[in-house]
Amino acid sequence: MSFESQLGPDGTQQSGSRRPPFFFREEYSNLIVKGNFMTLAAKPKLVEEGEWLAHQVVEQYRILEQMIDIIKVKDDKTGRPICNTEVCPTMSASGHTYTWLDNNKKPIKIPAIQYINLVQKWIIGKINDPAIFPTDTSSLSSTSYPSGSQTPTGTPQPLGPTSLTTPLSQLAGRDWLGKPSGFPETFESDIKSIYRQMMRCYAHIYHGHWLEPFWHVNAYKELNTCFIHFINVGKLFGLLGDKEIEPMQPLIDVWLAKGLIPAPQQQLQQKENVPSGGSQQGIAT
């Protein structure tokens, strides 16, 4: 039998041996780059944490968007995208089915492609909302991060505290993530919500589309590289809980065993180990 004929739609072997999906096995866990991904995730010492996380969230969405574009490619024969209502009637991953809230705030099951489209629209709306991600557009062309790379267009640049509608005198004694850079009090919960939805997209991509298209076009290493970077940031800054990671935990465990993702105690030590001006390795995506 050919390799493909032994696989189910999620990359699970069909032989009855109950072996895990191929994307959970060490031999398929390789990446397209080498090096320590912590240098990409760790906050430079002279950068405020809220500012760094705003940059990271926007960058992680940009990378995820490229993976989503792959499953939206239309089949030449059917004219339908790879992820469609027939192949993926629900937004699911490894026994988890994700629901969307309708206009009456009632959870409903919808096709994965519809869910992903709504997630993309929702995230873009959040990122472009100046009340959540205050942006100083005049600084976009001249601002650089300590890695030496130019700030991507659309990356939030926090405004000063005077941009908040609430006087600082009324905020005395209260603190939150991003406050020193002018981000709102809801900033942490907003970026965690964004990260949770991105995690669901990655989980569906792996469980629903690892074989078609990523294996068939030899792009599974690119998918792994994007996902390990996403997980490193999420775990390092507490943006993801264990339950949210659960559908992909076996692959994360493989990377932990290979030393590609630091253990929790190592992450704590490395959280701010990149000095301002230090070099960082890039990811080819």
How many residues can be counted in the chain? 285
83 is in an annotated binding site: yes
Q: Burial-class residue 65 by CB neighbours within 10 Å (0-12, 13-18, 19+).
A: middle
Identify whether the C-beta of residue 49 lies closer than 8 Å to the C-beta of residue 278: no
Q: Supply 86's token pair.
A: 């027939």
Classify the phi-psi angles of 148: left when phi > 0, otherwise alpha if psi is within -120 to 50, otherwise beta.
left
Three-state SS sequence of 117-165 = HHHHHHHHHHHCCCCCCCCCHHHCCCCECCCCCECCCCCCCCCCHHHCC
Give the whole-angstrom CA distance, residue 181 versus residue 177: 9
201 is in an annotated binding site: no
Among 117, 122, 111, 109, smallest CA distance to 72 is for: 117
Instruction: List the end-to-end C-alpha distance of the chain, in Å, as a whole number.
Output: 33
Identify whether the C-beta of residue 107 lies closer than 8 Å to the C-beta of residue 100: yes
Give the whole-angstrom CA distance, residue 125 versus residue 52: 20
204 is in an annotated binding site: yes
88 is in an annotated binding site: yes
Annotated binding site: 83, 88, 204, 209
Annotated binding site for Zn(2+): 83, 88, 204, 209
